């Protein structure tokens, strides 16, 4: 009998959340775990600081360069667009793509600075739509005690609080347009291992692959 899962595409899973909530830690562990289990998986970090656009973003985040708020917002989006074809190609080949931040960070951080929410949404319209976004939720007091907090632009209490509120609006918008099941909050408190188990439970069958074409964000 043929394997019905063989024609499935890979799942596109995004991790979001405020600074130091443990995204990069969990994304790496998940990719390693999937590979250990013999599955194909790839990590995609945003911003991808290795590209020409990514280097401009990196200089901005480290406060080595200044930029108009609209311009940096568009660069973050351009950085996703330059990776979009590779994400779609990998998904079509059955590879699970796990992203460390995505368009939702783009909206939340820029809107927190005061840019209009609708403007923030537009440049990412039609990017690959994540099958699942896991929003890692951690009280600010715990996040700011973790190492390196405060080194980059945006890593202030005021900015984090404003961004937290904007993430709430982004979650509502994702659920309204794309369905409740596409956005799930994860309690990011506890040990790295405890959080990892929680995440694994929430991802469930998604790692077996997904039927149907990848959809488009905000469409």
The footprint of ligand Z5A (CB under 6 A) covers: 17, 19-25, 46-47, 61, 76, 101, 105-106, 109, 146-147, 152, 154-155, 191-192, 195
Specify whether the CB–CB gap between 217 and 127 falls below 8 A.
yes
Q: How far is the CB of 41 from Mg ion (least distance, A)?
A: 18
Determine whether 67 is exposed, middle or buried from the number of CB atoms within 10 Å of its CB (0-12, 13-18, 19+): middle
Residue closer to ligand Z5A, measured from CB, 55 or 146: 146
35 binds, among Mg ion, ligand Z5A, none (CB under 5 to 8 A by kind): none
Rounded Cα–Cα distance for residues 118 and 115 (Å): 9
Q: How far is the CB of 204 from ligand Z5A (least distance, A)?
A: 21
Q: How far is the CB of 74 from Mg ion (least distance, A)?
A: 22
Q: How far is the CB of 94 from ligand Z5A (least distance, A)?
A: 26
19 binds, among Mg ion, ligand Z5A, none (CB under 5 to 8 A by kind): ligand Z5A
Determine whether 61 is exposed, middle or buried from the number of CB atoms within 10 Å of its CB (0-12, 13-18, 19+): middle
Q: How far is the CB of 103 from Mg ion (least distance, A)?
A: 16
Tokens matching residue 164: 């937290």
Strands 96-100 and 132-137: unpaired
Residue closer to ligand Z5A, measured from CB, 103 or 210: 103
Rounded Cα–Cα distance for residues 53 and 47 (Å): 9
Q: Tokens 């904007």, residue?
A: 166
195 binds, among ligand Z5A, Mg ion, none (CB under 5 to 8 A by kind): ligand Z5A
98 binds, among ligand Z5A, Mg ion, none (CB under 5 to 8 A by kind): none
Rounded Cα–Cα distance for residues 209 and 8 (Å): 5
Residue closer to ligand Z5A, measured from CB, 61 or 202: 61
């Amino acid at each position: 009998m043929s394997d019905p899962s063989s024609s499935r595409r890979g799942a596109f899973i995004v991790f979001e959340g405020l600074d130091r909530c443990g995204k990069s830690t969990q994304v790496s562990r998940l990719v390693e775990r999937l590979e250990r289990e013999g599955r194909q998986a790839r990590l995609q970090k945003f911003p991808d600081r290795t590209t020409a656009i990514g280097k401009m973003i990196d200089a901005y985040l480290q406060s080595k360069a200044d930029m108009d708020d609209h311009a940096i917002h568009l660069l973050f989006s351009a950085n996703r667009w330059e990776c979009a074809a590779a994400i779609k190609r990998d998904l079509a080949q059955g590879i699970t793509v796990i992203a460390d931040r995505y368009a939702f960070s783009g909206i939340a951080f820029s809107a927190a600075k005061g840019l209009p929410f609708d403007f923030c949404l537009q440049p990412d319209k039609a990017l690959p739509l994540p099958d699942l976004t896991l929003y890692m939720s951690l009280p600010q007091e715990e996040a700011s005690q973790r190492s390196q907090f405060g080194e980059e632009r945006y890593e202030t209490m005021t900015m984090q609080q404003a961004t937290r509120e904007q993430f709430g609006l982004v979650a509502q918008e994702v659920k309204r347009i794309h369905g409740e099941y596409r956005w799930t909050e994860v309690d990011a408190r506890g040990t790295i291992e405890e959080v990892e188990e929680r995440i694994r439970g929430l991802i469930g069958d998604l790692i077996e692959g997904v039927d149907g074409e990848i959809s488009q964000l905000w469409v």
